Amino acid sequence: MKTVSNKHDELGKCFAQHLSTMTSDISPKQIDRLWQNIVTRYGEPQRAYHTLNHIEQLLVQFESIKHILSEQHIIALALYYHDVIYDPTRSDNELKSAEFATDALSSYLSQEQCQQTHALIMMTANHQLDTLVDSDKYNDAAYLLDMDLSMLGAPWPTYKQYAKAIRQEYKHIADDNYRDGRTAVLQGLLAHPKLYLTDHYYNQLETQARDNIKRELTLLAAL
């Protein structure tokens, strides 16, 4: 059984591999400093779902589809940084995460690489694709967004734990207000013709995800 420390070490090694593949202008010590900053952020006490466990879950998804991606290292960095800033009382977490990533990486990556990472993280705010990107980047971004929503299509017991963790992150919100806000978010998701943008995730997870969301809505209505 993996300990938390071992899991963090594995995630750190993966982070180092992606970053060192993209640039030779960075030392192991500098990579470790960047990684420790990520670990500190994802370990903050206000987090219950948006932790390094979330990143680990996304990287499991990533390993199964990375061969399809045009720029897998950029996508990996976007995964690592997309929730690096997370304050449940604020609505600009994606922007702050994108800025954090750009500030952290700008000394080592090209301006274009930083801009790509920034744009990808910003797309996770509303899960809308930037139609201005070329077809390869569009495909990569679609997989990133689908990975980020993959928890919605998990087996119900796993989804139920996810929903419980989200509620914990919003423990500062009264039950009535949380019910109304969460209901609006979930109904908004169901209103989309497709939750998943890629055939890969649509075929695997769409039906389960919609069933899970409907079950959570039923539980919320009983609060």
Q: 39-90: per-residue pLDDT in tens?
A: 999 999 999 999 999 999 999 999 999 999 999 999 999 999 999 999 999 9
DSSP result, 120-155:
HHHHHHHT---TTS-HHHHHHHHHHHHHHTGGGGS-
Domain that holds residue 161: 152-221
CA proximity to 70, closest of 168, 165, 139: 139
Same domain, 143 and 163: no
Same domain, 93 and 169: no
Same domain, 157 and 124: no
Contacts of the segment 169-175: beta carbons below 8 A, 24+ positions apart: 169/46, 169/47, 169/48, 169/49, 169/50, 169/88, 170/88, 172/88, 172/89, 175/223
Q: For residues 147 and 127, is the Cβ–Cβ distance under 8 A?
A: no
Same domain, 69 and 39: yes
From 92, 113, 148, give the residue that closes a domain: 148
Radius of gyration of the chain measured on its C-alpha atoms: 18
Q: Which of 74-83, 123-132, 198-207, 213-222 has the lowest mean pLDDT?
A: 123-132
Number of folded domains that form the chain: 2
- Look at residue 4 and tell me whether its pLDDT is greater than 50: yes
Rounded Cα distance between 126 and 135, Å, is 20
Rounded Cα distance between 180 and 175, Å, is 9
User: Using CA of residue 18, residue 95, residue 60, residue 29, what is the dihedral sign?
Assistant: positive
**Which residue is associated with the tokens 């690096």?**
84
Q: 170-183: per-residue pLDDT in tens?
A: 999 999 999 999 99
- Torsion angle (degrees, nearest 10) of CA 217, 218, 221, 223: -100
Same domain, 34 and 142: yes
The predicted pLDDT at position 1 comes to: 46
The predicted pLDDT at position 127 comes to: 86
From 115, 148, 181, give the residue that closes a domain: 148
Rounded Cα distance between 115 and 69, Å, is 18
Q: For residues 78 and 33, is the Cβ–Cβ distance under 8 A?
A: no
